[in-house]
Copies of this chain bind each other. A is one copy, B any other.
Amino acid sequence: MNLEAFFSPKSVAIIGASEKLRFGYFVTKSILSRTDIRVYPVHIQADKIMGVKAYKSVNDIPNSVDLAIFLVPSEAAPNAMKECAEKGIKHVIVLSAGFAEVDEVGARRQEEIVEIAKKNGMRIIGPNCMGVTNLSNRFTTAEVIVDSLTEGNVAFIAQSGIFGSVIVDWAAANKFGLSKVITLGNKCDVDEIDVLNYLETDEKTKVICLYLEGIKKGRGGEFIETFKRVTSKKPVLVLKSGRTEAGASAVKSHTGSLAGDDRIFDAVLKQTGAIRVDSVEELLDFAKVLATQPLPEAEGVAIITNSGSLAALTCDELEKRGMKLAKFEPQTVEKMKKVAPYWTSIKNPVDIGPAMLQVGHQILEWVLEDKNVGCLLVISSPPGMLVKPNAMGFDLVPFYKVYREIMDKHREKSIILSSFGDDDVVRMAREVFDQSGIPLINSVQNAAKAIATLYRYKKYMERK
């Protein structure tokens, strides 16, 4: 069954709609404010919710309803579920907590709603989650300020609502482009496999990020099959906790998930072509690079840097991950020799140091024209003195814009910018590059790892 109605419902019932500033208030408010969706607040007592006519039961609603959102306490959920079934509602998001994650009573309630759903061909997201956020129509059941979000092509699947919020808030602050965000909570019905199936054909989504605590029992086979199919179309990044005993125990108390044997999971995941990451930061950095850059054609990686130390650290990380530095074509070297000061290192990495402002544009152009270069990392971390108003007060933005124009002529190559240090220096890089398709990765190590990920995914796709 297609999950589209979860993301783009035409009519929504909010069961347990709240006009008090408590759980559910912001969801109620944000959905009620929409003019493109018919919204029906349901409340056992209230006649009106935020000025909108409220219904005692979904069955009192005169029209059909695509999606029901549950804000009621867990004890009221089974009855509400029955009424939804009678009404013919096929999609339900249970935001409320108090189910299998807390105790036996909650677990029984969860079983009850699942049973009703199965009997009636309904699908449930949750419980104990924040549901969905769809950036293309700005529909959200989560407690997020949807206007602060940037639309992009990275979908994010998390388990718990809070972690989902953390990621979404980070994305808002960093103008990181999202397509859809789904938090699955207890996964009583819809799980990551279902969502992956849905996102497989979602045109808005180019990269899928998945935070996972465990796979549902009996879903191993389907997990492998689905992941294999989806990764052959778009990259899937997986951050899984519960790798160790302590982690597995934490996961169990968190969402009741069974983490399983990590070595097995790791081996299975490798088979599927999904990319496992080790930290939240890797997840976000890799996703940004995969979402904005093409897979590199040529094998060689080039580095243009103003810091020899940062370049040396990058080279270490690249080689550790089996990457090769590009050997420049003779004409590239010849051209560079003519303009670069004698002390510049024009081997790869090209260390232009303080000559960046004089020769940076030319060097960038020639390196990008070099046929042996598949991927370019530009490390630009000039001293803050250069840009500070009380020092040299140099505005890097116009200089960077020329960098940017040159890069835009070579978007067939993978290009990453790394900047670290002074806050104004980094801000200028963010402005010109990061917010429009050339990813800024602060950490050179993560930039190197992201490059390795691009190549790894490219090789995987070639084998397919």
Contacts and interface: CB of A to CB of B under 8 A. Distances in A.
Interface stretch (A43-51, A242-250, A403-411): A242-250
Contact of A308 (B144, B160, B315, B318): B160
A163 interface: yes
Interface in A297-332: 306-313, 315-316, 318-320, 325
Given A170-B422, A243-B320, A313-B279, A383 B445 contact: no
Given A253-B308, A383-B165, A316 B420 contact: no
B253 A315 contact: no
A308 B445 contact: no
A319 B160 contact: no
Contact of A160 (B102, B166, B251, B309): B309
Given A253-B345, A422-B170, A312 B443 contact: no
Nearest to A319: B244
A394 to B, nearest CB: 11
Contacts of A98: 343
Interface in A137-186: 143-145, 148, 158-160, 162-163, 165-167, 169-170, 172-173
A407 to B, nearest CB: 22
A423 interface: yes
Contacts of A278: 445
Given A246-B315, A349-B250, A390 B309 contact: no
Given A173-B422, A315-B244, A309 B158 contact: yes
Interface of A: 21, 26, 97-98, 101-103, 143-145, 148, 158-160, 162-163, 165-167, 169-170, 172-173, 211, 213, 239, 241-247, 249-251, 253-255, 278-281, 306-313, 315-316, 318-320, 325, 342-343, 345, 347, 349, 351, 353-354, 381-385, 388, 390-392, 420-423, 425, 443-445
